Chain A
Amino acid sequence: MLRMRYVNQALSGWGRFPVEACHVYRPTKRSEVSAILHSGAEPSYIPRGLGRSYGDAALNLKRGTILFTHLNRFLSFDPAAGILECEAGVSFAEIIHYLLPRGFFPPVTPGTKYATVGGAIAADIHGKNHHRDGSLANFVVGLRLLTPEGQLYECSANRNSEVFWATVGGMGLTGIILSAEIALHRVESAYLVVDYRKTRSLDETLAVMEESDAQHRYSVAWIDALARGRSVLMRADHAAASELPRHLTNPLAIPKRVGLRVPFDFPSLVLNRRTVRCFNRLYYALHRSERLLTDVERYFYPLDRIDHWNRAYGKRGFLQYQVALPLDGGREALQELVRCLADFGAAPGLAVLKRFGVGNAAPLGFPIQGYTLALDMPDSRDLVPFLHQLDQRVAYAGGRVYLAKDAVLRPETFARMYPRLDEFRSIKSRLDPHGRLSSSLARRLRIVDDTQ
Chain B
Amino acid sequence: MPTVLIMGVTSAIGRAVAAEFAGRRYDLVLTGRDPEEVAAWAADFTFRHNVRATGRLFDALEFPSHVAAIESCFEAAGGALEGAVVSIGYLGDQALAERDPAEAGRILDTNFTGCISALNILANHFERRRGGFLAVISSVAGDRGRRKNYFYGAAKAGLSAYLQGLRARLFGAGVRVITVKPGFVDTAMTFGRPGLFLVASPQSVGRGIFKAIQRGQDVVYLPWFWRPIMLAARAIPESVFKRLSV
Residues of A within 8 A of B (CB): 2, 5-7, 26, 28-32, 70, 73-77, 87, 98
Contact = CB atoms under 8 A, between A and B. Distances in A.
A74 B44 contact: yes
B93 A2 contact: yes
A28 B192 contact: no
B238 interface: no
Contacts of B12: 28
A5 B41 CA distance: 23
A76 B43 contact: yes
Contacts of B41: 73
Secondary structure of the A side of the interface? mixed
Given A7-B191, A26-B191, A77 B47 contact: yes
Interface in B19-39: 34, 36-37
A75 B44 contact: yes
B192 A7 contact: yes
A5 B12 CA distance: 17
Given A31-B34, A73-B40, A74-B47, 17 more contacts: A5-B192, A6-B192, A7-B191, A7-B192, A26-B188, A26-B191, A26-B192, A28-B10, A29-B10, A29-B34, A30-B37, A31-B37, A32-B188, A74-B48, A75-B44, A75-B47, A98-B48
30 contacts: A2-B93, A5-B191, A5-B192, A5-B193, A6-B192, A7-B192, A26-B188, A26-B191, A26-B192, A28-B12, A28-B187, A28-B188, A29-B10, A30-B36, A31-B34, A31-B37, A32-B188, A70-B188, A73-B40, A73-B41, A73-B44, A74-B43, A74-B48, A75-B40, A75-B44, A75-B47, A76-B43, A76-B47, A87-B40, A98-B47
A26 B188 CA distance: 8
A98 B49 CA distance: 9
Nearest to A7: B192
Nearest to A24: B192
Interface of B: 10, 12, 34, 36-37, 40-41, 43-44, 47-48, 93, 187-188, 191-193
Nearest to A84: B47
Which of A26, A28, A31, A32 lies at the interface centre, i.e. has the most chain B CB atoms within 10 A of its CB? A28
Contacts of A5: 191-193
Contacts of A98: 47-48
Nearest to A30: B36
Contact of B43 (A2, A29, A30, A75): A75
Closest 7 CB pairs of A and B: A5-B192, A73-B44, A74-B47, A28-B188, A73-B40, A75-B43, A7-B192
A198 B4 CA distance: 58
Nearest to B10: A29
Contacts of B44: 73-75
A31 B48 CA distance: 23
B31 to A, nearest CB: 15
Nearest to B47: A74
Contacts of B34: 29, 31
A30 B38 CA distance: 11
A73 B42 CA distance: 10
B93 to A, nearest CB: 7
Contacts of A30: 36-37, 40
A5 B37 CA distance: 20
Nearest to B37: A29
B139 to A, nearest CB: 19
Which of A2, A29, A31, A87 lies at the interface centre, i.e. has the most chain B CB atoms within 10 A of its CB? A29
Contacts of A7: 191-192
A87 B40 CA distance: 9
Nearest to B36: A30
Contacts of B40: 30, 73, 75, 87
